[in-house]
Amino acid sequence: MTESEIKSAFAHHKDAIYRFAWRMTASPDKALDITQDVFLTLLRAPNRFDPLRGQLRSFLLGIARNLALTRLTQEARWAALEDDESAVAPIEPGEAREMVARAIAALPPLQREVLILAQYEELSLEEIATAVHAEVGTVKSRLFRARENLRRMLAPLKQSRSISCGTAK
Amino acid sequence: MEPLNDQELNQVLNQWTAPAAPRALKFPKDRSGWRWLLQGSIRIPAPIALLLVIAAGVWLYSTRSTTKAIAHPKPVSLADFQPVKQMQPRVIGRANEAN
């Protein structure tokens, strides 16, 4: 890739990368750093991207994912990047948006990343598999567990939603 | 408590919107290699920076006091120097090298 192509990629994909990093780290500053580092990585090794192996967006999100996980690991917020934790702590009730943010932040990172890529970035399972360097089956399984965890953690919203819907009517 | 179904979960998840990339997000400049030497910067932890400043201060103080301790020598005059009046070259052979 040439520098002008990378600049064009920056213009097209910076928002998606920033959003993903913001959701992964819950920090605007870290999201900013990660987004810049993604394109810096591409500038330093422009030949790492192979169009035959997938979309540029998946490739860039894959770099962002690696950088985010490295930061999370360095911060020792998770002792290990396990994806089979089933006992996720319940979250306190509050405003729906905050509860969703807290519930997603409480997911193990490997579940969180596939959920964010699928739900918010609307990547296909194959694209997610490319981005997170995993098999499609593994991605499916992580996504299933993430959604199961969220169903339980966000169950209190069901009641409040039905109440609010009831009053709205 | 009854968990959310698929549709409810999607609705709830979609309430969490992410902000757009801030204006501060600019295309990065590659400062690798020699560019780093010209434009780069490094972060130093405050205690280490403080130690470096103290060490530099101590070193400056010690060199100054050493300089003061050395007496200033008198200016040297070349008035008494005279050129050699007569050269007396002496050839020494290999046999007499020891002399």
More confident residue, A124 or A97: A124
A1-79 belongs to which CATH class? mainly alpha
- Residues of B in Cβ contact (< 8 Å) with A18: 18, 20-22, 25
* Close Cβ partners of A138 (under 8 Å, ≥ 6 residues apart): A129
Q: Where in chain A is the domain with CATH 1.10.10.10?
A: 89-169
- Residues of A in Cβ contact (< 8 Å) with B9: 147, 150-151, 154
Q: Where in chain A is the domain with CATH 1.10.1740.10?
A: 1-79
Rounded Cα–Cα distance for residues A123 and A115 (Å) = 10
Architecture per CATH, A89-169: Orthogonal Bundle (1.10)
Residue A57 reports pLDDT greater than 50: yes
Residue B69 reports pLDDT greater than 90: no
What's residue A24's pLDDT? 93
- For the segment B73-79, the average pLDDT, to the nearest whole number, is 75
Of A158, A142, A111, which Cα lies nearest the Cα of B3? A158
ipTM, two decimals: 0.76
Of A4, A134, A5, which Cα lies nearest the Cα of A69? A134
What's residue A167's pLDDT? 37
A111-146 pLDDT tens trace: 999 999 999 999 999 999 999 999 999 999 999 999
Among B15, B24, B27, the residue with its CB nearest the CB of A39 is B27
Residue type, A77: R
